[in-house]
């Protein structure tokens, strides 16, 4: 159901979600563990990896919760959509032009995901202030932040790997 809520989020103001996620079908015979961009734990059948990267490019100008700034489209991340995925270990949200959060919730909303160890937010437009809330995700071990135009230091306690360099 959580995956279908994410798809509904995409469809909210745009009709292209069916094109982006064609296997994500709400019927009695569809198994979400066989859907594209989803990997499940084979034992529990729960989602352990979501690869929701590059959705913007996939759809070419997705029109959901977007706004324009100098002809570049940005959209706001709704972190609460990921809360149903209690076994989520790896979340890839790279290259989506996110630059903020719905209702300013920040990444701290992901802190209830106790198994989340890898988060890729590369290629988005979050600023350093948004990254401060990452410290609330105590299970996080790897954070990928390539191509975000960040400079300086921004240590986040508990993270063992920060990939800011695209060659790492």
Buried b (16+ CB within 10 A) or exposed e, 56-68: bebbeebebbeee
**Alpha-carbon gap, residue 95 to 123, rounded angstroms:** 4
2-163: CATH homologous superfamily? Ribonuclease Inhibitor (3.80.10.10)
* Helical (H) or strand (E) element with 55: helix 55-59
pLDDT tens figures, 37-94: 999 999 999 999 999 998 765 544 444 444 444 444 567 888 999 999 999 999 999 9
Output the pLDDT for position 74. 64
Mean pLDDT of 1-15: 79
**Alpha-carbon gap, residue 2 to 82, rounded angstroms:** 7
Parse the chain into domains and list their residue ranges. Answer: 2-163
Give the chain's end-to-end CA distance (angstroms, integer): 35
Q: What is the DSSP letter of 122?
A: T
Q: How confident is the model at residue 96 (pLDDT cuts 50, 70, 90)?
A: confident
**pTM here?**
0.81
Residue 163, pLDDT above cutoff 70: no
């Amino acid at each position: 159901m959580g995956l279908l809520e994410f798809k509904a989020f995409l469809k909210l103001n745009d009709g292209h979600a069916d094109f982006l996620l064609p296997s994500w079908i709400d019927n009695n015979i569809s198994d979400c563990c066989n859907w594209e961009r989803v990997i499940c734990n084979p034992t529990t059948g729960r989602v352990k990896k979501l690869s929701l990267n590059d959705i913007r490019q996939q759809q070419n100008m997705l029109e959901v919760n977007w706004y324009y700034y100098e002809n570049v489209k940005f959209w706001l991340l709704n972190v609460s959509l990921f809360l149903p995925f209690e076994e989520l270990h790896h979340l890839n949200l790279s290259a989506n032009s996110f630059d903020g959060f719905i209702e300013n919730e920040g990444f701290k909303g992901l802190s209830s995901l106790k198994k989340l160890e890898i988060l890729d937010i590369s290629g988005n437009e979050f600023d350093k202030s948004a990254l401060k809330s990452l410290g609330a995700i105590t299970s996080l071990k790897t954070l990928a932040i390539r191509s975000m135009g960040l400079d300086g230091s921004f240590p986040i306690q508990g993270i063992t790997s920060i990939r800011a360099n695209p060659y790492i």
